[in-house]
């Protein structure tokens, strides 16, 4: 019940807790900074990419639909004309529903032998009320798009991130992780021990992302200069309304009084990507052997993820299972850091991947109560808990002056 209170608490109070933030969030000059932003043709990702580019960054829109991205780039260039140098922005194909697509993107980027300073794993899905579906790799679609594919991308891009040191891996997460549970032996939710619903699929994937990020946080030596951060954008208005029944469309009309626009929702992503004190905060937690990776809330302050996210035993098992599912060896990170292997040396095929299946959800999308619940949850896509600095360590860090500039 505590997890659900976090979800609805964020919906009701996020505008109050984030009232100190400017909109848009002011950014420092980002010339000579290269950023990859996944899912950047709509909503939070779109605003994130645009504002980074306008601040001078070289932005790579990693997207499924490169044509849509090119149209956006053309639009942004026209709108920016006369305000400064032309925007340095490009599009590359990346489809997170395919691990082969992830590997191809990483190979193409690493082949440039250039630095990568910021990777923002923004893309994600919540298939509201839909039946259980698998990716072409045989994995539950939420788990693949929201966790497995971003995890693979983060590991494979480590050589470029190390070249760009100090650099950052930014994961856009969700308050829904606080109601999630991850069984490392049943990440596809097919064992029958739990009845599948889109809520379970989504929340489990977000919790898995935090757990994996926390182990990566521990495994990356300070000298690599690569920080790993998860964040909450808050409860953000999306394009879901057009597909909703009329009664829910009416409810959607009053939601702007409580929830963020995409421009407001991208502030924690931009903050995590650009604030100069983020690496210092990351190093402080790492030196004190903090069990979870840094987490930034929707009001751009450090926060603490759920109690289950602190389960280090499960986190280690999630780490190992994730590497197995994406076809990486357990020592892939260490070898990539040491330069002993390249992406081309790793066999990303995995003969143990299950065949693609489709299993009907036990949660009917046509029941009004379920639709209402799923609708409210959908609005929290990419959000995190409003409980700020709840641990003694984070309070100590604030007293020491390790606080973020907003």
Active-site positions read 202
SS3 8: helix
Strands 132-133, 295-296: parallel, antiparallel or unpaired by DSSP?
A: unpaired
**In the chain, helix, strand, coil percent, each to 5?**
50, 10, 40
Question: Using an 8 Å Cβ cutoff, are 217 and 289 in contact?
Answer: no
Q: Which residues contact 116 (CB under 8 A, 6 or more apart)?
A: 34, 36, 109, 157, 160, 161, 163, 164, 167
**What is the enclosing helix (H) or strand (E) of 172?**
strand 167-172
Say how far apart CA 210 and CA 173 lie, in whole Å: 8
Going from the C-alpha of 369 to that of each of 10, 248, 297, 363, 374, the distances in angstroms are 21, 11, 29, 11, 9
Instruction: Spell out the alpha helix ranges (H) of 233-311.
Output: 246-254, 262-265, 267-274, 278-287
List the structure tokens of 137: 């790799």
The number of residues making up the chain comes to: 406
The DSSP letter of residue 176 is G
Beta strands (DSSP E) in 260-378 are: 295-296, 358-359
CA distances 90 to 46, 62, 129, Å, are 13, 9, 35
Cβ 71 vs Cβ 316: under 8 Å: no
And the tokens for 167? 């650099």
In what helix (H) or strand (E) does residue 61 lie, and over which residues does it extend?
strand 58-63
Report the C-alpha gap between 371 and 377 in whole angstroms: 10
């Amino acid at each position: 019940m505590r997890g659900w209170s976090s979800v609805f608490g964020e919906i009701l109070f996020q505008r109050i807790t984030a009232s100190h933030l400017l909109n848009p969030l002011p950014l420092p000059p980002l010339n000579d900074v290269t950023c990859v932003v996944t899912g950047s043709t709509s909503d939070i990702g779109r605003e994130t990419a645009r504002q980074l580019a306008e601040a001078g960054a070289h932005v790579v829109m990693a997207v499924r639909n490169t044509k849509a991205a090119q149209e956006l780039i053309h639009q942004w260039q026209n709108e920016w004309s006369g305000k400064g140098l032309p925007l340095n922005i490009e599009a590359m194909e990346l489809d997170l529903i395919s691990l082969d697509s992830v590997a191809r993107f990483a190979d193409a980027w690493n082949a440039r032998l250039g630095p990568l300073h910021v990777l923002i794993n923004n893309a994600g899905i919540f298939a509201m009320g839909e039946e259980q579906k698998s990716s072409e790799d045989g994995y539950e679609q939420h788990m693949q798009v929201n966790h497995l594919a971003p995890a693979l991308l983060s590991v494979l891009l480590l050589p470029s991130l190390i070249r760009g040191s100090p650099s950052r891996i930014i994961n856009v997460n969700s308050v829904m992780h606080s109601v999630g549970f991850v069984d490392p032996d049943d990440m596809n939710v097919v064992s029958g021990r739990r009845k599948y619903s889109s809520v379970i699929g989504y929340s489990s994937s977000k919790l898995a992302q935090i757990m994996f990020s926390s182990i990566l946080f521990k495994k990356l030596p300070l000298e690599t200069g690569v920080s790993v951060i998860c964040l909450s954008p808050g409860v953000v208005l999306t394009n879901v309304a057009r597909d909703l029944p009329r009664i829910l469309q009416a409810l959607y009309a009053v939601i702007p009084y409580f929830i963020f626009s995409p421009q407001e929702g991208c502030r924690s992503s931009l903050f995590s990507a650009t604030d100069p004190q983020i690496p210092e905060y990351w190093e402080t937690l790492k030196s004190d052997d903090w069990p979870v990776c840094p987490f930034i809330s929707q009001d751009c302050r450090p926060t603490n993820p759920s109690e289950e996210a602190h389960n280090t035993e499960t986190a280690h098992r999630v780490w190992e299972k994730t590497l197995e599912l994406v076809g990486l060896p357990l020592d892939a990170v260490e070898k990539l850091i040491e330069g002993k292997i390249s992406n081309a040396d790793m066999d990303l095929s995995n003969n143990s991947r299950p065949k693609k299946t489709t299993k009907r959800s036990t949660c009917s999308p046509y029941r009004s109560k379920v639709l209402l619940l799923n609708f409210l949850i959908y609005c929290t896509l990419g959000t995190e808990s409003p409980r700020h600095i709840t641990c003694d360590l984070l309070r100590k860090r604030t007293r020491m002056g390790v606080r973020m500039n907003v």
